[in-house]
Structure 1
């Protein structure tokens, strides 16, 4: 017998994501769910702000997956690191990560984490934003190099994993939804799932 009673959602839950971090976060709710990679072009539009980009991509991911699973409750989320209005994407390479961390050293970055929950069958649609303000310490090149060699966070916007060694790069994190920085704001996710008719507890 499981240590907690299994939840019994009235509809299937689908996470529209390719992120292993979002999958791990959603699994903390002990809800049955499946994962469907959304087919969405994530290229920023000309002049698009990080906040607008995060909102658009979260909605687009949810909508793309909802078309494939119209009876399900679909979760879409996206995060864009915002440095003075400029979006910082996933670095992809060591050199790009070094450049990002040098730019963020001693500065505040807002991680714009957007969330959309949809169900085509019921017409349910909710959108929300969980911004996270992150203050980076003044970092020297040796610290940056040591961190990147240890954790290799090349698939993370902003080149740092706050849930791991990346916390040593930081002065402070300001957020009202603690898991938002990792990629999925679970307080908001629970609220929106309940509103969509999914029993979370």
Structure 2
């Protein structure tokens, strides 16, 4: 298969930063999708469905691209979903509930060939084991980083690393929002190896 231009179906600055690690030229565009969970949909199903919806939403505007769709859903061990908090108060609630618990992050990933409709999909799991957090620690963390646009109310790439006892999973990039190991596997499946292509200067 001949490689096509890459399009990241996301407006997330975190995913864009991760994508640049591969040294491959790409564009980014923001898909307009409803991210509401369906009835009885679990975290893995939701993440995978939304990743596909994001890629599909841009296929008509970019008909000759490989479109990368990704979406992340966080959940507690009882299956409760942790969405982007959007406010300080909701972020406090999420971190209080996560304190001392294992929070699982399901990151759906889709690579769509918009010209043929062929696609690859994957859901990467990553688990964050939270320390027992005091009210003061939670408040200070939120005031420091204001992670209100992040599922689970933290940024692992910043001070959020201090919230955890340990992390469990094969690709820490997935915790930020884009599983690069799985993505490079998909690209190689279609004949594009980042290690055999010149880096972007």
- CA-CA distance at 1:194 after TM superposition: 1.9
Which residue does 2:17 correspond to in 1? 24
1:176-191 equivalences in 2 (<5 Å): 176-191=170-185
Which residues of structure 2 form unaligned runs of 5+?
196-201
Q: Report whether the alignment pairs 1:193 with 2:187.
A: yes
Q: TM-score, normalising length from structure 2? A: 0.92
Aligned CA distance change for structure 1 residues 26 and 190 (closer, same or farther; 3 Å): same
2:63 to 42, 48, 70: 70
Q: Report whether the alignment pairs 1:47 with 2:40.
A: yes
Instruction: Count matched residues.
Output: 193
Q: Report whether the alignment pairs 1:14 with 2:42.
A: no
CA deviation map 1:11-53 (0-9, x unaligned): 1100001111001000111111000111111011122211111
Q: Partners in 1 of 2:193 and 2:175 — Cα distance? A: 25
Question: Is 1:113–1:183's contact at 8 Å kept on the other side of the alignment?
Answer: yes
CA deviation map 1:35-74 (0-9, x unaligned): 0111111011122211111011001111112222121000
Question: Is 1:13–1:34's contact at 8 Å kept on the other side of the alignment?
Answer: yes
Which residue does 2:199 correspond to in 1? none
- CA-CA distance at 1:190 after TM superposition: 0.8
CA deviation map 1:115-136 (0-9, x unaligned): 0000022343100011001100
Which residue does 1:6 correspond to in 2? none
